[in-house]
Amino acid sequence: MDYQSAITALADPTRRIIIDRLRGGALPVAAIAKDMDVSRPAVSQHLRVLSDAGLLTVTPSGNRRLYAIAPEGVDELRRYLDTLWDDALTAFARAAEEKAKGKTK
């Protein structure tokens, strides 16, 4: 369960832009860095972080390297948030119930 590094990776705005650019499918580094307000090496560093977090897959294709979103990595985050959401809901429901009981007493 390495959702920790995944959420840390997604905390950076630039990295979220990169992720958004990869929603349509795999892209090489140059295409990702095109028309972005940071340099290409900066994008490479971000891709490194995202890959280490398990959010991206890298497939060398001749001269270039194709980066794509790894569904499994995203799913880890999803599962963490699901448990958090469940606990929050049950706690919320119990608090409302106890508050109602306190009112009537």
Residue numbers at the binding site for a copy of itself (CB under 8 A): 4, 7-8, 10-11, 13, 16, 19, 22-26, 68-71, 74-75, 77-78, 81-82, 84-85, 87-89, 91-92, 94-95
Paired tokens of 72: 């499994």
| DSSP one-letter string for the chain | --HHHHHHHTTSHHHHHHHHHTTTS-EEHHHHHTT-SS-HHHHHHHHHHHHHTTSEEEEEETTEEEEEE-HHHHHHHHHHHHHHHHHHHHHHHHHHHHHHHHHH-
Of the pair 36, 80, the CB lying nearest a copy of itself is at 80
Of the pair 44, 90, the CB lying nearest DNA is at 44
**Residue 17 near which of a copy of itself, DNA, none (CB within 5-8 Å, type-dependent):** none
Q: Indicate whether 57 belongs to the interface with DNA (CB under 7 A).
A: no
**Residue 96 near which of DNA, a copy of itself, none (CB within 5-8 Å, type-dependent):** none
